[in-house]
Structure 1
């Protein structure tokens, strides 16, 4: 069981640090099987980068969660995740003509050390659809990207 209060314990945001962020939809509902809805999350990733809140290194939007590898810019992790989750939920609820929570409370963040193989972490992120059996080739999955392409 996810305990969002425990996830906040010891959380530290530092500009320029690398983080792997993960969050899930409420009840792990596979909202993003609809690629159009998944693109609402992608739009928020891109908006955060345009506003210099992050530098996106790799991401994947899975049917019920996302993984996002970033270098933190002009925001805190809490501000960033609040923005992405709030704005994407609004857009998706508007498109589906629904209301209510889309995302599970909280998120998971993993701070990476500079000496870690960041490309290996990025490969792990973008290979999620392959490991989940959603596609046979990564190129067949529409909701992922990495700067090393």
Structure 2
């Protein structure tokens, strides 16, 4: 059994799904990607976390983070990240018809859905399954036929580390080979530092 060491990290590993408000398709716009990258890097200077996997789609994102030992305050991190992106891109993307009284009162803008989904990773099997889910997502939603064709993903970092082959899973009409976890037998076999940590990759 491979050693998926990030899954049992002391600080806890979490899977997140974050949606734009009413699924507006702006997340892969160049200015939003730049703002998101800057926001994450800024927040991590005071509230560090490791990025184990990430995918950015037009109207939502999925990611896995590992937090430091004794720290489970991911909500503060997301609040700061969302706020910083709204400050940089909110004027261009403002939708007055989406602005409720509550949003106006709290100056929240019209970019982000209030809530997000979080799941604490239980074990190496759960970690592997969610890493695969993150990387397969652009194909699942019909944006590309091959995982490698989607630029806004940590998949390419995993390929460089030799964990996934460039043609992992194959074409969209090819069935996921048995149990989805079987596809992750390669995941995290190399040193964790090669595939997690500090770089935020959303394409150029």
Matched, 1:105 2:114: yes
Structure 2 counterpart of 1:5:
none
Task: Give the number of equivalent residue pairs.
Answer: 134
Matches within 5 A, 1:73-112: 73=68, 76-93=73-90, 96=92, 98=94, 100-112=109-121
Tell me the distance in 2 between the aligned counterparts of 1:118 and 1:86: 28
Matches within 5 A, 1:123-134: 123-134=132-143
Distance apart, 1:85 and its partner CA: 0.9
Distance apart, 1:50 and its partner CA: 4.7
Distance apart, 1:107 and its partner CA: 1.2
Structure 2 counterpart of 1:30:
25
**Cα-to-partner distance string for 1:50-108 (whole Å, 9 max, x where unaligned):** 545211100111111111101013561110110111112222225x3748221010211
Tell me the distance in 1 between the aligned counterparts of 2:44 and 2:146: 27
Comparing 51-60 with 103-112, greater Cα deviation is found at: 51-60
Matched, 1:56 2:39: no
Tell me the distance in 1 between the aligned counterparts of 2:148 and 2:30: 14
Gaps of at least 5 residues in structure 1 are 1-14
TM-score relative to the length of structure 2? 0.57
Tell me the distance in 1 between the aligned counterparts of 2:85 and 2:127: 27
**Cα-to-partner distance string for 1:29-62 (whole Å, 9 max, x where unaligned):** 1112424423432333344445452111001111
Gaps of at least 5 residues in structure 2 are 1-9, 96-108, 162-204
Tell me the distance in 1 between the aligned counterparts of 2:130 and 2:93: 36
8 Å Cα contact 1:21-1:68 kept in structure 2? yes
Larger radius of gyration: 2
Tell me the distance in 2 between the aligned counterparts of 1:90 and 1:20: 25
- Residues 93 and 134 of structure 1, relative CA distance in 2, 3 Å threshold: same
